[in-house]
Amino acid sequence: MHSVLLAGLARDRQDGTGFGTRLSEACVDVVGVTGAGIMLMIDEHNLASLANSDRVSGVVEELQFTFGEGPCVDAYRTGRPVLERDLAHPVMLRWPAFSAAALDAGVLAIFGFPLQIGAVRLGALDLYCDHPGDLDRDQLSDALVLADAVTHELLAVQASAEPGVLGAGLEDVTNLRVAVHQASGMVSVQLNIPIGDALVRLRAYAYAEGRPINDVARDVVARRLRLDEQH
């Protein structure tokens, strides 16, 4: 399966299907889940969606970026799979903000797998189900193979690029959070706080207002919104 998926991803780059699209959709069929998404991450706070199999998967990744918590964030941080079989009744509440919003979106079980080789960490693969339950042994094995496949493909794409230039298909991903980073810089200057704290302020405001963080960031950049010490 690994070699077949890699061949499919290579065709994606050549025929313009969309980098990662084939893999995210294959996850649904191969693993037997409801949806799948691939996230690229620089660190636990800077992440962007590469591909999603469906609308809810896109919502799941947007929520993780907005709240700074969720299975992909934990999988990236720990370097280990993160498995939540019953988001509505977890043994331990790990993601209070994310869980409530994800449940509203129809996610009842969710699983994150790190995209890494050795010490190199690239992001995470997330899978969700619209019903509670564990992944069985075969599903877990397939998910690990898929995570390994996309990791190798990401490295192959970047290896083929010129030094200092992002690989084909990755350029647009870096633009997805430009407004958030710009807004974080503006809030940092306005409140005289570190960039990381400014991002936390943006996330807190987005959560309190029930708005996507990208929308809040655009308002800040356009000077329609100014966060003060009360936010």
- Kindly report, residue by residue over 192-203, the tens digit of the pLDDT: 888 778 888 888
- Tens-digit pLDDT profile for residues 47-91: 777 888 999 999 998 899 888 899 999 999 999 999 999 999 999
**Distance in angstroms (rounded) separating the CA atoms of residues 139 and 33:** 9
In the predicted model, what is the mean pLDDT of the chain?
A: 82
Task: Please give the Cα distance from 175 to 29 (Å, whole number).
Answer: 30
Q: Give the pLDDT confidence score for residue 201 in this predicted structure.
A: 86
Q: Find out whether 47 and 72 touch, Cβ atoms under 8 Å.
A: yes
pLDDT, position 2: 47
3-state SS, 39-74, equals EEECCCCCEEEEEECCHHHHHHHHHHHHHCCCHHHH
Q: Judge residue 102's burial from the number of C-beta atoms within 10 Å of its C-beta, 0-12 exposed, 13-18 middle, 19 or more buried.
A: buried
Determine the CATH number of domain 2-165. Answer: 3.30.450.40
Length of the chain: 231
Domain ranges of the chain: 2-165, 177-221
161 contacts: CB under 8 Å, gap ≥ 6: 167, 168
Among residues 132, 140, 76, the alpha carbon closest in space to that of 109 is found at 132
One of 2.60.120, 3.30.420, 1.20.58, 1.10.10 is the CATH number of 177-221, namely 1.10.10
**CA pair distance 40, 192, nearest whole angstrom:** 29
Q: Mean pLDDT, to the nearest integer, of 18-30?
A: 78
Would you place residue 175 in the very low, low, confident or very high pLDDT band (cuts 50, 70, 90)? very low
